[in-house]
Chain A
Amino acid sequence: MKQKIRDILGKHGGLPVPVETLADDADLYAAGLSSFASVQVMLGIEEAFDVEFPDNLLNRKSFQSIAAITRAVEGLTGSAEAAE
């Protein structure tokens, strides 16, 4: 799942650094993720995992790091146990 999220981040995140150089807990906003790019990442993830982010997850925190995005997607797909 994390690799898939990394791929989406690489495609839609518009980051000035390669996604491979970022740790799972690295702050994506500090790494250059813009507000608008975070929205595109959100839409990319919804499409890839066939999920819909509810209102309470549509915020900066959900996309703060690869780990945070993973947690959000796990919560939405109910795959927390299977993922790790």
Chain B
Amino acid sequence: MDMQTSLLDRLFDSGLLIDTGVEGLYGRSGAFEDVIARFERLIDVYGGPDGAEAMRFPPGMNRAHFETSGYMKSFPQLAGTVHAFCGADLDHMSLLQCMEVGGDWTKDQKATDIVLTPAACYPLYPTIAKRGRLPAKGGLYDLQSYCFRHEPSNDPARQQLFRMREYVCMGTQEHVTEFRQTWMDRGLEMMAKVGLDVTMDVANDPFFGRAGRMMANNQRDQNLKFELLIPVTSAAKPTACMSFNYHQDAFGAKWGLNLENGDVAHTACVGFGLERIALALFARHGMDIATWPADVRKVLGYQD
């Protein structure tokens, strides 16, 4: 039995995650949710004083915005679209007949105006662009959403529906790269406080295909993405639990985000993989939160 199956089995056995029969689609126990809630409060302790504007979107986004984002250029393999039955009585009859005989009843489903959110910040950019120019001090936003990525796996750290907490910064190049550096420092400090071993490394997104290989190399060459890696299922191959992304002016140009003086805004975001962080805590400190080290419990606000 490999380590991945074993961690997943331990999570199922302890009731922390609940099997649904689909890889990467799990229920969560109250205790698991509580760890995430407490870690989010720790994020608030660090990020709260910055005064970010909080927004929460549901885990689906406007399909037109998704199309503008260019996500399908880079990650067609990960996207999930929402389709629905849009027929009349007769169509309904053939649908039921098709299901009755075990046929592919989904092929006549029609695309709706909703696409599953691939990253918490995606609905933000068109929202901010609609407001007009950014204020003089730039923009800082706090987001959290369930996100979907179609990558079935028995690695509990690679779920298809998971939560991402993000801070997004918009402004000048200096402003947003400083924001990113601040969070890289904070990320290291936070993880040390909860007793997790971390490494920071330059990274790339999982761009699709051969063209994607070049996009990935370019991203690395320019140090656009860093990840904070923590052992979850393997010490040799630690899992990215936070990412720190500098988009240059790509999103600013794409969405029409402009500074007060009319220049195209640069943007950066920092993302926390909330399930991954919770899993790293369980993998490191054990399935029973009551036996976690006292200093870790204290940082997360558990009463002893």
Interface positions of A (Cβ within 8 A of B): 34-36, 38-40, 42-43, 53, 55, 58-61
Contacts and interface: CB of A to CB of B under 8 A. Distances in A.
A25 B210 CA distance: 26
Residue of A36, A38, A39, A55 with most partner-chain B CB within 10 A: A39
Chain A facing B: main interface SS: helix
A43 B210 CA distance: 9
A39 B209 CA distance: 11
Contacts of B218: 35, 38, 59-60
B221 interface: yes
B73 A58 contact: no
Contact of A39 (B214, B221, B222): B214
| Interface band, chain B | 10 to 19
Contacts, number: 33
B124 interface: no
B211 interface: yes
Contacts of A42: 211, 214
A13 to B, nearest CB: 14
Interface in B212-256: 213-215, 217-219, 221-222, 250
Contacts of A55: 213, 217
A36 B222 contact: no
A59 B221 contact: yes
A60 B221 contact: yes
21 contacts: A35-B215, A35-B218, A36-B215, A38-B214, A39-B211, A39-B215, A40-B211, A42-B214, A43-B211, A53-B214, A55-B213, A55-B217, A58-B213, A58-B214, A58-B217, A59-B214, A59-B218, A59-B221, A60-B218, A60-B221, A60-B222
A80 B171 CA distance: 46
Interface in B22-54: none
B97 to A, nearest CB: 45
Nearest to A59: B217
B253 to A, nearest CB: 9
A19 to B, nearest CB: 20
Contacts of A36: 70, 73, 215
Contacts of A39: 211, 214-215
Given A36-B215, A40-B211, 19 more contacts: A34-B250, A35-B215, A35-B218, A35-B219, A35-B250, A36-B70, A36-B73, A38-B214, A38-B218, A39-B211, A39-B214, A42-B211, A42-B214, A55-B213, A58-B210, A58-B217, A59-B214, A59-B218, A60-B221
A40 B215 CA distance: 11
